[in-house]
Amino acid sequence: MEDVIDDIYVVCECNDVHYKEIMDAIKNGACTVEEIMKATGAGTVCGLCRTAAGDPGGKRAIHLDEILEKAKLEGLCPDK
């Protein structure tokens, strides 16, 4: 079921970027929010999906920085 959610959950509504695309970018070495933005286009229009702090109204359920932190906890993007 999680794979299906990964494929369909849209993190960035402006550029229609799905959770799976963000995770793929992280797995391919995008280990900062800026690198994820460059690789996927997420967060480059309105910016609400970048960080929870940048989304004061809570319009997005999850943000790029939160996805990145989760990935780091799972062993992706080890600190250099």
Overall domain count for the chain = 1
Q: Is residue 63 part of a domain?
A: yes
Q: Express each pLDDT in 6-54 by its tens digit.
A: 678 999 999 999 999 999 999 999 999 999 999 999 999 999 999 999 9
pTM: 0.89
pLDDT (mean) for 48-76: 94
Q: Is residue 79 part of a domain?
A: no
Range of the domain at 65: 2-73
CATH of the domain at 50: 1.10.10.1100
pLDDT at 4 (0 to 100)? 56
Residue 44's beta-bridge partner residues?
Answer: none
Q: Are residues 50 and 63 in contact, defined by beta-carbon separation less than 8 angstroms?
A: yes
Q: Where are the alpha helices (DSSP H) in the chain?
A: 2-8, 19-27, 33-40, 64-73
